[in-house]
């Protein structure tokens, strides 16, 4: 008789721990599986501990009622009393925190049953929710995200056994690595969102294409431009410009940039204008390779980025941010923004219902505060400032 080399149940458990780092609700599959493996009433994963003024991030999975068909349960509602009460009040009484990293510990390792039952934490929190025994581990990155994994049982249930400790000891290194993956993905997502938000604020339409020139992603402004289909449009998943010659130039530029990306030549950049049959000003396109890591797979991944400027888009500088940058009054900031949008000083005066004399006085004050000496210099200064990110 042959024996399997791998315990399939343990293998599924480990895979669920790693998969949890990429799930929309983190560890929504792993926590029920972990709860069942340790046979606990509740399993909790604390990704950020609560503190005064911070509700933290706590994921809970509770053993389902006996009359429920499934042996596993989804994550508990974060609005449940057990979670909200701990977040808002009882975290400060919890004696089972700041464990030595990667050490498997039970609550009775720290205090006797009598000491626990006399504590405010038990009387005010554990007893009302029917919990008594706790097994846990703290793990994560030394200088990064530290997670707390806790298993809880009722008083009438058996204490956690050496087998339970051994199972958690086997899982902990995998959880530590999964926590590191989760932290890194969150950091990358946050950075991506910051940069994507900055591009949106700067009124730049962005389109990402794969190695075959197929559409992968767009920002909101690019989506609107493609939906208008005025000059630039989609045919299937490929960009298309009206007019045979213009479209041939676009396809040639895309092919050159994608070829350069695959050859590791990130400095190749192509630019062209896109005429719009509707009579509106032409769009400006810049196409450049997407940097790829040495170990990038090169298939169905980002290969080319298309940046589009639309002259019809109004300058988007924030009045408040511009005022703070250059110590302008609200009225002066409004004048500066209107000038940056291409209005003459006379048109600014009319739109703001002020006299030409007042407009000239405000412009003189703006020059003094910004250091600009000409209107063109002021406009350039505004456009190149960070006011659009406000």
Q: Would the CATH topology of 8-190 be identical to that of 203-309?
A: yes
Count of other CB atoms within 10 angstroms of residue 195: 11
Among residues 171, 204, 219, the alpha carbon closest in space to that of 309 is found at 204
CATH code for the part of the protein at 203-309: 3.30.450.20
Least confident window among 34-38, 44-48, 75-79, 286-290? 75-79
What average pLDDT does the segment 135-163 reach? 91
Please report, for the chain, the start and end positions of each structural domain, with discontinuous segments joined by +: 8-190, 203-309, 319-389
112 confidence band (pLDDT: 50, 70, 90): very high
What pLDDT was estimated at residue 72? 46
Least confident window among 196-210, 225-239, 290-304? 290-304
User: What distance lies between CA 69 and its chain's CA centroid?
Assistant: 36
Least confident window among 72-86, 136-150, 218-232? 72-86
* Cβ–Cβ < 8 Å for 107, 116: yes
What pLDDT was estimated at residue 75? 64
pLDDT higher for 10 or 82? Answer: 10
- Rounded to the nearest 10°, the torsion over CA 159, 164, 166, 170 is -150
Domain 8-190 falls under CATH 3.90.930.60: no
pLDDT digits (tens, 9 = 90+) for 95-110: 888 899 999 999 999 9
- Over 60: is that where the pLDDT of 332 sits? yes
- Over 90: is that where the pLDDT of 1 sits? no
390 confidence band (pLDDT: 50, 70, 90): low
For the domain made up of 319-389, the CATH class stated in words is: mainly alpha
Least confident window among 18-32, 33-47, 60-74, 249-263? 60-74
Burial 110-144 (b: 16+ CB within 10 A, else e): eeeeeebeeeebbeebbeebebbbbbbbbbbeeee
pLDDT digits (tens, 9 = 90+) for 286-327: 999 988 765 555 556 788 999 988 877 655 567 888 888 889
Furthest CA-CA distance within the chain: 100
- Over 90: is that where the pLDDT of 2 sits? no
What pLDDT was estimated at residue 22? 92
What percentage of the chain carries pLDDT values higher than 90? Answer: 40
* Cβ–Cβ < 8 Å for 288, 271: no
Neighbouring C-alpha atoms within 13 Å toward the C-beta of 126: 24
């Amino acid at each position: 008789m042959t024996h399997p080399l791998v315990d399939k149940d343990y293998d599924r458990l480990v895979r669920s721990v790693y998969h949890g780092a990429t799930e929309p609700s983190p560890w929504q599959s792993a926590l029920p599986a972990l709860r069942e493996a340790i046979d606990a009433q509740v399993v909790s994963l604390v990704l950020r501990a609560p503190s005064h003024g911070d509700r933290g991030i706590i994921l809970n999975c509770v053993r389902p009622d006996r009359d429920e068909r499934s042996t596993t349960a989804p994550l508990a509602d974060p609005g449940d009393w057990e979670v909200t009460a701990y977040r808002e009040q009882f975290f400060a009484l919890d004696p089972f925190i700041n464990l030595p990293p990667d050490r498997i510990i039970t609550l009775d390792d720290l205090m006797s049953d009598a000491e626990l039952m006399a504590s405010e934490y038990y009387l005010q929190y554990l007893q009302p929710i029917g919990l008594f025994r706790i097994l846990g581990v703290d793990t994560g990155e030394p200088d990064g995200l530290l997670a707390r994994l806790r298993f809880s049982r009722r008083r009438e249930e058996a204490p956690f056994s050496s087998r339970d400790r051994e199972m958690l000891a086997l899982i902990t290194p995998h959880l530590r690595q999964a926590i590191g993956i989760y932290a890194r993905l969150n950091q990358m997502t946050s950075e991506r969102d910051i940069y994507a938000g900055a591009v949106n604020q700067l009124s730049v339409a962005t389109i990402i294409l794969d190695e075959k020139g197929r559409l992968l992603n767009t920002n909101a402004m690019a989506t609107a431009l493609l939906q208008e289909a005025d000059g630039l449009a989609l045919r299937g998943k490929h960009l298309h410009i009206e007019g045979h010659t213009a479209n041939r130039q676009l396809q040639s530029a895309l092919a050159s940039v994608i070829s350069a990306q695959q050859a590791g030549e990130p400095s190749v950049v192509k630019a062209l204008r896109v005429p719009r049959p509707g009579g509106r000003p032409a769009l400006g396109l810049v196409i450049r390779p997407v940097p790829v890591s040495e170990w990038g797979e090169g298939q169905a991944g980002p290969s080319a980025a298309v940046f589009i400027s639309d002259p019809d888009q109004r300058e988007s500088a924030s009045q408040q941010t511009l005022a703070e940058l250059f110590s302008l009054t609200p009225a002066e900031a409004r004048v500066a923004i209107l000038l940056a949008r291409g209005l003459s000083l006379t048109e600014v005066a009319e739109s703001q219902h002020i006299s030409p004399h007042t407009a000239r006085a405000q412009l003189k004050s703006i020059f003094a505060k910004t250091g600009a000496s000409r209107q063109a210099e002021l406009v350039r200064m505004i456009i190149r400032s960070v006011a659009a990110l406000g």
